[in-house]
Chains A and B, each alone.
Chain A
């Protein structure tokens, strides 16, 4: 026993190194997003408030560009208003607002911390429990989808970016409605892969890919990107499709958190069917 203690004392530098590395390994396994998910650390208190302060500064510098983007989006949305459209054939059909329910609620939020260069990327937004944000709500920007809410603290929430090895999003080809799955291969934050599009489908470069609305997270028809390259290996039953994201994840500042108000109802219905 004494010999052992003496040995440890003699090599205390090495043993201390082992202890600290062990501690780090413990942190990695018990806390990390990829190895296991619990990201709440970063959305807590002190670090978030420093990041938030720094962001208010950088946002101020980028105001001109941000205003331009928002104005652009406003213009696009204005086009969609009933008032700026005219019915080609007047069949007397009138939209009665009492027949329409709000299905998705959008809430604006600001990104206070963003990453896009790692293999698994996360964002932190400045809305939390106080703003009724809940886990697994969708997050979209004016240009395209961004990610899914993971953890929520009082004032902040963390978002698993589309740029994450575990993210898989139901998408479809807008032109013909064929659905597939979006995966990010971790190489370039401008591109991703679309899987499971069968080989008999006719594709064209530049086809728009949107969300399919199959999951209860994102509404239907939110733009994801366009087909940048596609290839059909001999004998393969699915295409290899490369998609170019429509959003520039390096520059996203303002996003919308999407709340599906009918999600619980849908979930209950699904559970009922599974139980039978």
Chain B
């Protein structure tokens, strides 16, 4: 139990540092910025109490906000994403039942499951984030474009990271 808490706290800190120090300086094609830190919310164990799921998502969003000077925007998006997480994991079917020992990830549930799980939740996160950031509907299509492209890039990076970590463990 305490091992799970330590792993997740470490992941919390490392993902924030990765996002703030490396990825925030990455900018593809002028307007795609990948937000990989949301991986923290994706990888929280299934048996996490629901209140803790929301609260930790809110906290990691708020930490990113502190670094980026965008108070509240990321917090709102990550909380929304955490709120959707139980429903999304119920909708997507996997080869195996969700047992207490199973963790969300490619390891236990396969690439197909993880891909759809990641794409859906990252899309929800990016949609809310980019619309709050623009705060208007005038530039609707350019925002939509940003959402789709960024979702794809973020999801790819998250899956790559997941694969890397998987290899190391074996």
Contacts and interface: CB of A to CB of B under 8 A. Distances in A.
Interface stretch (A26-34, A141-149, A173-181, A222-230): A26-34
Chain A facing B: main interface SS: helix
Interface residues of A, number: 42
Interface in B45-98: 50-51, 54-55, 58, 61-62, 65-73, 75-76, 79-80, 83, 86
Counting chain B CB atoms within 10 Å of each CB, the highest count among A23, A32, A33, A187 belongs to A32
B89 to A, nearest CB: 14
Given A24-B58, A186-B139, A41 B66 contact: yes
B21 A54 contact: yes
B69 A33 contact: yes
Interface residues of B, number: 36
A186 to B, nearest CB: 7
Contacts of A269: none
Contacts of B79: 17, 20-21, 24
Give the most central of A20, A23, A34, A186: most B CB within 10 Å. A20
A116 B27 contact: yes
Contact of B72 (A16, A24, A186): A24
Interface of A: 12-14, 16-17, 20-21, 23-35, 39, 41-43, 47, 50-51, 54, 58, 115-119, 122, 124, 158, 186-189, 250
12 contacts: A13-B86, A16-B50, A17-B54, A17-B79, A24-B76, A27-B72, A41-B66, A51-B20, A117-B30, A118-B133, A119-B133, A119-B134
